[in-house]
Amino acid sequence: MSTQHLYQPNTAFDALRLPLLGRLLRWRWGRLIFQLPLLLLALLLIYDGFTGPDLASQNLATIAPWVHYRGLVIVALLLVGNLFCMGCPFTLPRTLAKRLSLRGRRFPQKLRGKWIAIAGLFLIFFLYEWLDMWASPALTAWVIIAYFVGSFVLEAIFTESAFCKYVCPLGTFNFVYSTVSPLQIQAKDQNICRTCVGKECLNGSYRPTPIVVIDEIGIDGQPTKTHINGPQGTLGCGTLLFAPQIESNIDCVFCLDCARACPHDNVGLLGRKPGVELLRPSAWRQRYDTAFLVICLAFMGLVNAFGMVPPVYNLMQDIAGGLGLTGLGVSDLAVEGIVLLLIFGVGAFGLPVGLSLLAAQIARQMTRTVKRDSLRVALTTFAPAFVPVGLGFWAAHYGFHFLIGVFGIVPTFQNFLLDHGISLLGAPDWSLGGITDLSVVGLIQTLALLGGFLGSMVVAQRIAFRHYGRSGLTGFLPWALLLLGMMLVGMWLFSLPMEMRGTVLFD
Ligand code: SF4
Ligand code: SF4
């Protein structure tokens, strides 16, 4: 590839150039337009969570996050990108906190990885199942409050957006699956970036007092092109991404601060082939934390679904009986917690770590690359292949709840209004739910599972031939078997009757 080619401006579709919407997105307060409605919604959920009906399917606090948010987030990731993080209401107090912490310290170096995020995801999925969060409006309201507090505190202490980048389970989920999204932040012309003085996309254009930045100096030594950074400017990238070097959507919250801060209008939200970054080795750090995040999250998709099907209850009783927990005199809730922790620990962490290490080791042995590749390289190289299969599991699971409960929000909202003396929308019709023909839902789930599996097989096969050359087929085999095993388990799980959550018809 010639140097000339390397610096050709990128002319891909740019969402920030769309009529009206593009201008709105680039506007200084553009993000606020999306955040304010979601902030109001979050406050409404907290209010209804504490004061509304106890029945989960009649309370906005349980319906909106556990049925609608989770379904819509998958659709948004597939069709556009990380839209939820773009409109995330938890970052509103963060914006204030971040201004407080401009001179704060950085997040501790030892914690700057994805291990906390993996633990956070594990914890939220475990607590969700153990404490039946989906059935408790008040508990869900407390979770929303915890998000606001966590975001504010971390942003107030540290300079970068530590909560988004290292902690937030919702954001981490979005980061992983936005790697298949069709939009990505990119610098449009690398030549402009090379000579850019302020690198405002990263450093921000906000200054408490205005300063003049000189972009170009003429042959007479006088500035010929300048711009001013000042109080009207924008903060730079909170997750410390540098626009001209971005190759992945991981860690990008789609806040568009980089586009607003760039004085040369050189940042775009550019189109790309969906999933292309899974095949781009430079987009993936060869680190265990990133790899295990992707692999464990795919397995969490299975474990989470397992928590809703009949065999889990038999298994829990067997484990509790086998370990003698029932005779210890502790509460049923404590016994359930211990047993679920064991199931989640094995299924969401032990199995993915063990099986992926085994597949990597077998691939090294079979391709005779033990001396060339460390186990870490052999494993992390194939981590992107677990994105599509994982997304398939989550789409099948969240899609199920969304499809059978999609219209349930209407009577719930009517009921909320009536409870507060507003009869504007009439009386609730509790028969409104969603798709009642479960064979249609099953078909959609099967398509999601098969699509994810096939996507993963293609990615794994391409990686194998790129990495192992002529031994590509051999190197592909252990990973293909692991992916096939996961898909078969997924097919079995989603063929079992699932608990119907979030719709009155099935409460
Ligand atoms: S994206 Fe804009 S601010 Fe960032 S380096 Fe390039 S020209 Fe400079
Ligand atoms: S500022 Fe950073 S996180 Fe925000 S859109 Fe730009 S690259 Fe993504």
pTM (2 decimals)? 0.92
pLDDT for res 130: 94
* 451-464 confidence digits (pLDDT tens): 999 999 999 999 99
The Å distance, Cα 236 to ligand 2 centre, comes to 8
Q: Is residue 302 part of a domain?
A: yes
The per-residue b/e assignment along 262-293, b for 16 or more CB within 10 angstroms, e otherwise, is bbbebbbbbebeebebbbeeebbeeebebbbb
Kindly state the average pLDDT of the residues 378-404.
97
pLDDT given at position 80: 96
Characterize 178-211 residue by residue with b for buried, 16 or more Cβ atoms within 10 angstroms of its Cβ, and e for exposed: bbbbbbbbbbbbbebbeebebebbbebbbeeeee
Give 434's DSSP letter.
S
In a domain, 4, yes or no: no
User: How many Å lie between the centroid of ligand 2 and the Cα of residue 209?
Assistant: 24
Q: What is the DSSP letter of 499?
A: P
When pLDDT is averaged across residues 281-293 and rounded to a whole number, the result is 95
Nearest atom in ligand 2 to the alpha carbon of residue 267 is: 6
- 3-state class (DSSP) for residue 246: coil
Per-residue confidence (pLDDT) for residue 101, from 0 to 100: 58
Q: Is the CB of 88 under 6 A from ligand 2?
A: no
DSSP 8-state symbol, 330: -
Does the structure show a pLDDT above 70 at 505?
Answer: no
The amino acid at 476: F
pLDDT of residue 170 exceeding 70, the answer is: yes
Give the dihedral of Cα atoms 332, 334, 340, 343; nearest 10 deg: -110
Please choose from 185, 260, 264 the residue to mutate so as to test ligand 1's pocket, defined by most ligand atoms within 8 A of CB. Answer: 264
Number of folded domains in the chain?
Answer: 1
Q: Which residue has the higher pLDDT, 7 or 250?
A: 250
111's tokens: 């914690």
Q: Is residue 420 part of a domain?
A: yes
Residue 423 lies in a domain: yes
Pick the atom of ligand 2 nearest to 243's CA. 7
Asked if residue 239 has its Cβ within 6 Å of ligand 2, the reply is: yes
Mean pLDDT (the chain) is 91
Ligand 2: residue of 16, 95, 183, 185 to mutate (most ligand atoms within 8 A of CB) is: 185
Residue 86 lies in a domain: no
Residue whose C-alpha is closest to residue 106's, from 186, 171, 166: 166
Q: 3-state DSSP call for residue 267?
A: strand
Q: What is the model's pLDDT at position 1?
A: 40
Confidence band (pLDDT; 50, 70, 90) for 277?
very high
Alpha carbon distance 242, 235 (integer Å)? 13
- 354 domain-assigned: yes
Instruction: Read off the tokens for 70.
Output: 């989770």
Using the structure block, give the residue that is written with the tokens 């998000």. Answer: 147
Determine the structural domain holding residue 395 and report its residue range: 297-507
How would residue 2 be classed by pLDDT, with cut points 50, 70 and 90? very low
Torsion of CA 241, 245, 247, 252, to 10 degrees: 10
Q: Give yes or no for residue 3 having a pLDDT over 60.
A: no
Distance CA 297, CA 159 (A): 28
Closest CA to ligand 2's atom 4: 255
The length of the chain in residues reads 507
CA distances from 18 to 76, 203, 249, 268, 353 (A): 18, 26, 21, 11, 44
Q: How many alpha carbons fall within 13 Å on the CB side of residue 52?
A: 29
Q: How many CB atoms lie within 10 A of CB 142?
A: 16
| 397 lies in some domain | yes
Alpha helices in 307-350 (DSSP H): 311-322, 332-344
Question: Phi/psi of residue 230, each to 5°?
Answer: -165, -160
pLDDT tens digit sequence for 196-235:
999 999 999 988 899 999 988 888 888 888 999 998 888 8
DSSP, residue by residue, 15-65: GGGSTTHHHHHHSTTHHHHHHHHHHHHHHHHHHHHHHS-SSGGG-HHHHII
